[in-house]
Chain A
Amino acid sequence: MKLNVILTVFRKEILDLLRDRRTLLSMVVLPIVVFPLLFSVMGKFMGEAGKKAESEATTVAIVADQIPSGFNSAIARSGLSIVVVQDVASAVESKKAATGLTVSPDGKLAKVYSEGTRQSSGIAADKLRTALNDYRDAMILEKLKSVQLDASALKPFTVKRENVASERRMGGSMLGSILGYIVILLMFSGGMYPAIDMAAGEKERRTLEALLASPANRTDIVLGKILACVAATYSTALLTTASLFLSLKQGVVDMQGAEKLMGNVPTDPQTMVLMLLTLVPIAVMAGSLMLSIALLARSFKEAQSYLTPLVMLVIFPSLLGGLPGMELTPTLSLIPIFNTSQLLKNILQGDVPVLSFAITNLANIGYAVICFLLAVRSFNNENVLFRT
């Protein structure tokens, strides 16, 4: 093994990648813009949809002369304006009014109408219901007073739910579930073109023979290539992670309603370092695996048709790992990709199960070594190199 030869190949491949627009797009541009874009679009839509719903939640449909007078004051307090219609249900359904109210002739049953798919209808119905509840409570108080009873008799105690998860954990839970698979997915797609370019690309451009005829050792050549491919994959991961954290920090300020989704996002150095460490064996695994597969192909197109399904395949375990309620047990820590997206979630929640962390990373290092050796072996196999 000759370090200077390995570095020569590595430098040449990196230079080649940086000069390739296609690679730059998937390796650098996409990871950087995807999160700011996603969050700003998401924020805008969420903000505007909320505003729009708020501005539309202004009307309540009633049938003329059917509402007892006490209810009218409740409606007035809800701030909704009255629309007089023939049929309340169809008026709400056809958007003539945001919500609707009917009261049974005996005054014992008040029905509030809402159209479940419309946010504005829900908001209006909530306003109306709150106003009606207040009205009812006032009536109760009135009656209690008349029989000289204290209001507390109705409520011996109150029940309140307390969420013990720290804010960091809530944020991490939401964030971890998307982060896990987006980072892994982008890593694979970022390393895909570099892998194709330096493996199948050599065959397609007919440069492989010259490379093999050079005095350099095949193992040294492929080590340089693996190194370059892993570097490409890992830098995609780095950029994706950095872009994610930055746009989250920014996004929470810019986005209305986003706080609920993101929570108090942990952006401390320790969290980032743990994350980036976890991604190292995955990058080695992804880079070497894709390079080995791309070596089998004779052309760019063929390599693409092998690697695209692989990237799709990667989505499943990482999506699974992002599902709420999934726990990272020591056994599950052995499943590649799944274990990583799961561990990323744990890291972002601020409590890392030590055993699972160790098993996940050890298992991933094992897979990385296997893929690495596979790539070295493929490059030393003349059937792979001279496949016709």
Chain B
Amino acid sequence: MLQVNGLSRNFVDKKRGIVKAVDNVSFSVAKGEIFGLLGPNGAGKSTTLRLVSTMLKPSSGTAIINGFDIATHPAEVRRQIGFLTGDMGLYARQTPRETLMFFGRLAEVPELQLSQRTDDLLRRLDMLDFADTRCDKLSSGMKQKTAIARTLIHDPPMLILDEPTATLDLPTARVIEASILEAKRAGKCIVYSTHIMEEAEYLCDRIGVINHGQLKISGTMDELRAITGKQRLREVFLELLELPSAA
């Protein structure tokens, strides 16, 4: 479903010169699988996900999503993806329903299908009570539901979630986690970045640890334990951050 091959991205910084934000990262994720991208702040998680979702262009390497290459078919790639971050905002003067219709139209979902899917999402996420209230009047939980619904409106086979719970309180974070597990059951391919180890351990089938732009290692929890000889993810994580280069 998702195949990332040697993806790299350099930035030019005035003080530091060329910075390798993402350095030769490769991994793959299958349908119905949750892949966790674990790393400290500034490790290159967000940049990797932005590269995969074609918001940024790679310096070298590529990624193929559902058969579409990010370099040659960016629009098709984006159609395969639902993208969500924890600090994403909503248009304050639009209602959740209008937001869903707007993003559905951007994805060129046929009108009839779009209104059906909007109603369906509003019902499934229990949003009917506030579907026609302007977003600036909503609570943070309601906003988060709206953001999730927006991510799902074009029914993408793949979800890219960049620290989706980072700024949320526990109950709201639970809403997100529940939606992620439901999406997994529906057979979606999910990439999930976080710096919280417990979250990764709880949600993800496989985990990749990233630091200084390099993917240090990836595998299931059991594989990670076997390689590092540590039991808890916290220890595995700290151990891996010490590793000199990609495994």
Min distance, Cβ B161 to any Cβ of chain A, angstroms: 12
Question: In the complex, are the beta carbons of A4 and B108 less than 8 A apart?
Answer: yes
Closest approach, in angstroms, between the C-beta of A212 and any C-beta of chain B?
Answer: 5
Q: Is the CB of B75 within 8 A of A215?
A: yes
Known: A16-B94, A215-B154, A217-B75. Contact between A209 and B55, CB under 8 A? yes
Partner of B106 from the list A5, A19, A209, A382 (CB cut-off 8 Å) is A5
Contact with A along B121-155 (1 / 0, CB 8 A): 00000000000001000000000000100100010
- In the complex, what residues of B have CB within 8 A of residue A19's CB? 93, 134
Q: Give the residues from 48 to 103 in chain B that come closer than 8 angstroms, CB to CB, to chain A.
A: 50, 53, 55-57, 75-76, 78-79, 81, 83, 85, 87-94, 98, 102-103
List A residues 190-246 near B (Cβ within 8 Å).
205-207, 209-217, 221
> A4-B108, A213-B78 are contacts. A207–B57 as well, Cβ < 8 Å?
no
Name the residue among B57, B93, B107 with the largest chain A CB count within 10 angstroms: B93
Contact B107 A205 (CB under 8 A): no
A215 touches B56 (CB 8 A): no
Please indicate the chain A residues that have their CB under 8 angstroms from the CB of B83 in the complex: 209-210, 213
Contact B87 A206 (CB under 8 A): yes
Whether B108 lies near A5 (C-beta < 8 A) is yes
Q: CA A205 – CA B143 in complex, angstroms? A: 13
Q: Does A8 count as interface, using CB distance less than 8 angstroms?
A: yes
Q: Is the pair B89, A215 in contact by a Cβ cutoff of 8 Å?
A: no
Q: What range describes how many residues of A lie at the interface?
A: 20 to 34
**A213 touches which one: B81, B90, B102 (CB < 8 A)?**
B81
Q: Fill in one digit per residue for B161-204: 1 if any A CB lies within 8 Å of its CB, else 0.
A: 00000000000000000000000000000000000000000000
**B230 located at the interface, meaning its Cβ lies under 8 Å from any Cβ of chain A in the complex:** no
Assess whether A4 is in contact with B79, with CB atoms less than 8 Å apart.
no
B76 to chain A: closest CB distance in Å? 8
Nearest chain B CB to A91 CB, angstrom units: 67
**Which residue in chain A gives the minimum CB-CB distance to B81?**
A213
Contacts A206-B88, A207-B89: A213 and B55 contacting too (C-beta < 8 A)? yes
Interface assignment of A12: CB less than 8 Å from any CB of chain B: yes
Quick check: is B105 within 8 A (CB to CB) of the other chain? yes
Residue of B nearest to A19 (CB): B93
Report A-chain residues with C-beta under 8 Å of the C-beta of B106: 5, 8-9, 211, 214-216, 221
**In the complex, which of the residues A20, A209, A210, A213 has the most CB atoms of chain B within 10 Å of its own CB atom?**
A213
Partner among B91, B94, B107 whose Cβ is within 8 Å of the Cβ of A215: B107
A45 lies within 8 A of chain B by Cβ: no
Which B residues are in CB contact (< 8 Å) with A212?
55
- How far does the Cβ of A200 sit from chain B's closest Cβ, in whole Å? 13
Q: Are A214 and B107 in contact (CB under 8 A)?
A: yes
Q: Which of B91, B107, B147 has the most CB of A within 10 A?
A: B91
Q: Which residue among A8, A9, A209, A221 has the maximum number of chain B CB atoms within 10 Å of its CB?
A: A209
Asked if A161 CB lies within 8 Å of chain B CBs, one says no
Q: Across the A-B interface, give the 5 residue pairs with the lowest CB-CB distance, nearest first.
A: A213-B83, A206-B89, A215-B79, A205-B89, A216-B106
Interface residues of A (CB under 8 A from B): 2, 4-5, 8-9, 12, 15-16, 19-20, 205-207, 209-217, 221, 382, 385-386
B interface residues (Cβ-Cβ under 8 A, vs A): 50, 53, 55-57, 75-76, 78-79, 81, 83, 85, 87-94, 98, 102-103, 105-108, 134, 147, 150, 154, 160
Q: Can you give 28 A-B contacts (C-beta < 8 A)?
A: A4-B105, A4-B108, A8-B106, A16-B91, A16-B93, A16-B94, A19-B134, A20-B93, A205-B89, A206-B87, A207-B89, A207-B90, A207-B91, A209-B55, A209-B85, A209-B88, A210-B83, A210-B88, A214-B103, A214-B107, A215-B75, A215-B107, A217-B75, A221-B106, A382-B55, A385-B55, A386-B50, A386-B55
